[in-house]
Structure 1
Amino acid sequence: MGKTGRSGRTAALLAGAIMLTAGAATSAAALEEVDVELVLAVDISRSMAMAEQVVQRNGYVEAIASPEVVAAIESGLLGKIAVTYVEWGKAGAERVVIDWQVIDGEASARAFAEKLAAEPLHEVSRTSISEALVFAADQIDTNGYEGLRRVIDVSGDGPNDHGRPVVQARDLAVSRNITVNGLPLILEDGAPRWSVVEDLETYYGQCVIGGVGAFQIPIRRHKDFAAAIRRKLVLEIVGVQPQTRNRVVPAAAFAARDGRDLCTIGERATAQR
């Protein structure tokens, strides 16, 4: 091959490398930077009475637009977060209710809350925390935002009984640099319900939450919904490692316990039925 041919080939390879580099830079630049990418993953399985769904939904609506949450958002390094609201039940029934939206102040927080308040409630059978976590993690990876932190906030009133093992899904999310926080609903002032887990707080601590700074806030009374959700959002937005007091329980509180049997209790109970 002559010098001209070699030079032409070298130039072509160099041009291709430059185009690939430019394309990668353009793709990276297209991602909007935010303080937190946050998925609110909310249980709508049939174990949740419709009255409880109403209280739960209203709790999120009130919390998102609250002065405390808005102040937490505005105090961030970038002063904005990206949020999506997802509902889930059985595997494959995950649904984006409110798509990704940037909240950077009172007006955008109120707009998100108003959209959420206008959405109808739904009910789905079974409880697949695991597939909800995988679905939520995929939403984060494909959302067009680049957060300093990536968080899934999952609420529910029972153990995983459908889809892949919950620990497997939790660990997958954590491996993707996502923190999973929990809002276990242990309502003591509602109608009696069947449950295979006597201590849902321990179940969430051992099997569901994980990642850097992971924590949960158990809710035991309907009237505590809004305050608990508000506090949880503030902690997630500011990225503060919570203490064990006041029912805010970090993942480390459960690290020394053996949860291998506990983490499959929902699946085993379903198989027995």
Structure 2
Amino acid sequence: MLSLLGVLFCLGCDVRPVATAMPADVELVLAVDVSRSMDADEFALQRAGYVEAIRHPDFINAVRAGRNGRIAIAYFEWAGTVRRESLVPWQVIDSPESAQAFAAALAGRPFGGYTGTSISGALDFGNGLFDDNSVDGLRRVIDVSGDGPNNIGLPVTGARDRAVAAGIIVNGLPIIIRPSPTFSELDRYYAECVIGGEGSFMLPIRSVDEFATAIRRKLILEVSGATPPAIVIPAAGEPVDCLKGERDRRFFSDPYFPELDR
């Protein structure tokens, strides 16, 4: 009786349905390094690799083969700080047309090199992006690429751990085309200091001609949820120093990094 009275009294109420998030197989953030340790040709190859991978039929087929047949994807570039003008905001991909639209938006972004390498800043920014979409993914993934260790901002392990605690998988794409003379084992660094979460993996790029195929292979693994390849890490040597990049930067440069604001 009380329930009926409640209904009668509320006949004039503005009752709105509760919004339901769209189900998807994965929410994927692509966080791409544009620090000046890479040259203009490598910038162009990296950007083209992502554009080609998202347009590729194998990637689109992997998306459509999922339980929901759709993913949500966002993209941004970073160096010592996140380059907010590079952000391509969340878009659902569920067809060749939607994949092409995202790839076209990405291809149209201006790009350039910037100072510093803050993987931690990229991970924290990527972590925050998951609060700003209307998608409910079965998995949440940050795919971070880079060609050097974290050397600015908070320690990278803390940012990784914050992402993992939020239920996010962090995967890595270490670029080892021109290894740093002070830090040559970037694959080990990514394996021990950057990636995290159940099923996380990293896929190194060791030559220029690997860009397109490696990026496509990695994105297909991420959207399909397939078991990633085994990570082969050199057994010899001391454990990786996850703060070595910060120590090297402060030894060679002004620790206040005023150039990042330029």
TM-score, normalised relative to structure 2: 0.85
Partners in 2 of 1:127 and 1:160 — Cα distance?
5
**SS class of match (1:39):** strand
Choose the corresponding residue for 1:243, options 229, 234, 256.
229
Cα distance, 1:120 vs structure 2:
1.3
Structure 1 residue 120 corresponds to structure 2 residue 110: yes
The residue number in structure 1 matching 2:161 is: 171
Structure 1 residue runs of 5 or longer lacking an equivalent are 1-6
Offset from partner CA, 1:224-262 (integer Å, 9 cap, x none):
111000100010001112132xxxx28xx699x974x51
Residue type of the alignment partner of 1:136: G
- Cα 1:72/1:254, change in 2 over 3 Å: farther
The residue number in structure 1 matching 2:126 is: 136
**SS class of match (1:215):** coil
Cα distance, 1:42 vs structure 2:
0.2
- Cα 1:214/1:144, change in 2 over 3 Å: same
**SS class of match (2:243):** helix
**SS class of match (1:205):** helix
**SS class of match (2:229):** coil
Cα distance, 1:95 vs structure 2:
4.8
Q: CA RMSD in A?
A: 2.6
Structure 1 residue 263 corresponds to structure 2 residue 242: yes
- Cα 1:254/1:79, change in 2 over 3 Å: farther
The residue number in structure 1 matching 2:22 is: 32
Structure 1 residue 186 corresponds to structure 2 residue 172: no
Choose the corresponding residue for 1:149, options 139, 144, 162.
139
**8 Å Cα contact 2:86/2:111 also seen in 1:** no
- Give me the identity figure in percent: 46
**8 Å Cα contact 2:23/2:135 also seen in 1:** yes
Offset from partner CA, 1:174-223 (integer Å, 9 cap, x none):
000000000000015xxxx7443110000000000000100011001111
- Cα 1:120/1:169, change in 2 over 3 Å: same
- Cα 1:96/1:82, change in 2 over 3 Å: farther
- Give aligned pairs, total: 242
Choose the corresponding residue for 1:73, options 63, 87, 107.
63
